[in-house]
Amino acid sequence: MTITTSSTHTRQALTRTAAIELRNVSKQFRLESGELVNSVNSVSFTVDPGEFICVIGPSGHGKSTLLNMIAGFLPPTSGTITVSGSPVTRPGPDRGVVFQRDTLFLWKTVSQNIEFGLKARGVPKDQRKTIVAELLQTIGLEKFANAWPKQLSGGMRRRVAIAAVFANKPEVLLMDEPFVGIDYLRLGQLHQVLLDLWQEAEKRAVFMVTHDIDEALTLADRIFVIKHGTLALDMKVDLPRPRRTEDITSPQANELRRHLLQEFSR
Amino acid sequence: MRIRAFGPAVAGGIVGVLAIAAVWTMLSATNTAARFPSIPSIFDAIVDNFQSAPILSYSTFGTGGVWSNTLWTAQNVLIGVATGLVIGFATGLALARIEWFHRLGRLPIAILGTVPVLALLPFLTLWFGNSALSTNGLVIFFTAITVASTVQSSAAAAEVKYADYAATLGLSTNRTTGSIILPALLPSTIGVVRAATAFGWGFQCIAEVMGGSQGAGRLIRSFSDATQTAGAIGVLIVIGIVAVLCDALIGLAGRWIVRWNE
């Protein structure tokens, strides 16, 4: 187990182009009363290409705000955000986002949903068909290629949503609690689909907000704990991959879990 | 589910019609034919006046019968709804997607939405005289206002749901509108078109009764003026059947268009 601070990792990453880099990023919101609230306070970190980051922390402490700023939906009040060396000024196809809410286009079939971003970018039809077929196989929905989203279960729709984002080959994948409300059995399948897609898509960094410590331990290379708008902990997860139930219940994993819970209650 | 529900629905409908017929028969047995004509006399009036209704030539120097006047009314309702749909859809979409139009148009359209539709009838007659527009203007106005309001709110909801996702795909505003917002509006628009058509029959007939030169409403007034109640009720029955058939066709087309929403 390795527990590092954000500054340690920032120093290590200075020599290469980070997938995501935040420098002293802060975000203030003005309440209706006129009072200013600091949602994110001078957060700095770097995420390397291909790294899987899970962000956990109490509700309302700035996790989603952080993700929305990286996505370009919200501008930071101060500080800089870069993705693959380019400053983030607005949303763009280099940052794919899997939202908590369902964003599948109901009037498009499963294939058409996955294909949509590629079509928008002018990818030739033959190439699109190949990419879609590969992704359908990875997510295990080949038989549902021509189904409407309304004909799918919640878990299947999540799989399609993730595949649709991966199809565009974004530099980084941002996920805001994408598996909320999914039962435990389907959650395992979805994690596997996500990991398969992530491992096939080399050098795609993933930045995922979650409330679930077990989910973070299953998926992440590093876990960030965000508390009161600051990066309270940057913890490396040295568990072997693929992580089975025995791996995330091992003494080593329990030590990481204990450390996270301690940070939560501090 | 739908197939299983179809049988009881048809049976229920037949029982409902028979119940009304029974009540009507009792009323016609105890009243004059001018107030409650018998059911056979109503059907005789439909058959006798179907191709040509002599009452029209007496009262308005008009021509045609129940069928041609009903078709005229149906045609005007459908043209009115189609025109209102185009105007309302464009207006609602512009209100939702074009900021300057939203600022300029929101208040006037909200005020227009509060105007009682029938109160416009004298103005339409004043502005458009005896033309078709003076009668189907009510249908156009009602459809345009209801469609605009529905499209605006549905487009705003689609924007909330899809705009961020579209931005991450690098879509332009125009492409977002064409590829995402427009299809997302279809279910609510089809719903409101069906409702507007249902109300449209009423508005069109009222306008024809009040001042039309043709149409089912005009024929009802002619029969009514001559106290030929059986003829007036016969026209109502025919127009009701045509309206139900039109609604079924629009419903079928709508279900096919938004088959992904079933």
- For B168-229, the DSSP string reads HTT--HHHHIIIIIHHHHHHHHHHHHHHHHHHHHHHHHHHHHHH-SSSHHHHHHHHHHTT-H
Residues of A in contact with B261 (CB under 8 A): 106-107, 150
Query: Residue A200 has what pLDDT?
Result: 81
Work out the percent of chain B whose per-residue pLDDT is above 90: 57
The answer to whether B67 and B238 are in contact (CB under 8 A) is: yes
Name residue A138's amino acid. T
- Long-range contacts made by residues B114-122, C-beta under 8 angstroms, separation at least 24? B117/B141, B117/B142, B117/B203, B118/B203, B118/B206, B121/B206, B121/B207, B121/B210, B121/B211
What pLDDT is stored for residue B122 in this prediction? 83
Q: Considering only CA atoms, which of A57, A167, A63, A181 is closest in space to residue A112?
A: A167
Scan for tokens 């290379």, then name that residue. Answer: A221
Nearest-by-Cβ selection for B175 from A95, A97, A120: A120
Q: Name, in order, each residue with C-beta under 8 angstroms of A33's C-beta and a sequence gap of 6 or more.
A: none
The pLDDT value recorded for residue A216 is: 94
Task: Tell me how crowded residue B1 is: count the other CB atoms within 10 A of its CB.
Answer: 5
Pairwise pLDDT comparison (B247 vs A101), residue with the higher score: B247
User: Mean pLDDT over all residues of chain B?
Assistant: 89
The per-residue pLDDT for B121 is 82
Task: Please report which confidence band the pLDDT of residue B13 belongs to, taking 50, 70 and 90 as the band edges.
Answer: confident
Across the interface, whether the CB atoms of A117 and B164 are under 8 A apart is answered no
Best of B159, B169, B175 to disrupt the A interface (most A CBs within 10 Å) is B169
pLDDT over 70 (residue B2): no
How much is the ipTM here? 0.78
Going by C-beta distance under 8 Å and a sequence separation of 6 or more, which residues neighbour residue A245?
none
A97 to chain B: which residues are within 8 Å by CB? 164-165, 168
Is residue A114 exposed (0-12), middle (13-18) or buried (19+ Cβ within 10 Å)?
buried
pLDDT band at B110, cuts 50/70/90? confident
Q: What are the residues whose beta carbons fall under 8 Å from the beta carbon of A107, sequence distance 6 or more?
A: B183, B184, B186, B258, B260, B261
Residues within 8 A of A (CB atoms), B 35-64 only: none
Per DSSP bridges, beta strands A78-83 and A86-87 are antiparallel
Residue spans per domain, chain A = 2-93+172-177+204-265, 95-169
Of B234 and B118, more confident: B234
Cβ atoms < 10 Å from Cβ of A115: 21
> Which spans in A176-244 are helix H?
184-200, 213-219
Report yes or no: B150 and B93 within 8 Å, Cβ to Cβ.
no
pLDDT tens for B35-58 read 899 999 999 999 999 998 888 777
Rounded to the nearest 10°, the torsion over CA B224, B230, B234, B240 is 70
pLDDT averages per 10-residue partition of chain A, 266 residues? 48 67 94 88 94 93 94 94 93 90 92 92 92 90 94 90 89 90 80 86 87 92 94 92 87 92 83
Across the interface, whether the CB atoms of B180 and A105 are under 8 A apart is answered: yes
Find which of A98, A107, A112, A123 to mutate to test the B interface (most B CBs within 10 Å of its CB). Answer: A107
In chain B, what are the domains? 44-261 (1.10.3720.10)
Give the mean pLDDT of B15-37.
Answer: 91
B184 touches chain A (CB under 8 A): yes
For residue B1, give both structure tokens: 């589910």
Task: Determine phi and psi for A48, rounding to 5 degrees.
Answer: -80, 155
pLDDT at A108: 95
Residues of A with CB under 8 A from a CB of B: 71-73, 90-93, 95-97, 99, 101, 103, 105-108, 116-117, 120-121, 148-150, 165, 168, 170
Burial class (CB in 10 A: 0-12, 13-18, 19+), A184: exposed
CA distance A61 to A43: 12
How far is A46 from chain B, CA to nearest CA, in Å?
21
pLDDT tens digit string along B220-233?
999 998 899 999 99
Sequence-distant (≥ 6) Cβ neighbours of residue A41 within 8 angstroms: A26, A62, A228, A229, A230
pLDDT of residue B152: 93
| Chain A environment of B160 (Cβ under 8 Å) | none
pLDDT of B184-228, one tens digit each?
A: 999 999 999 999 999 999 999 988 888 777 889 989 999 998 899
More confident residue, A257 or B126: A257
**Cα–Cα dist B67/B49, whole Å:** 8
CATH fold, domain A2-93+172-177+204-265, is Rossmann fold (3.40.50)
Q: How many CB atoms lie within 10 A of CB A6?
A: 19
State the number of CA atoms in the 13 A half-sphere of A107 facing the CB: 15
At residue A172, φ and ψ (nearest 5 deg) are -135, 150
Tokens of B39: 């059911």
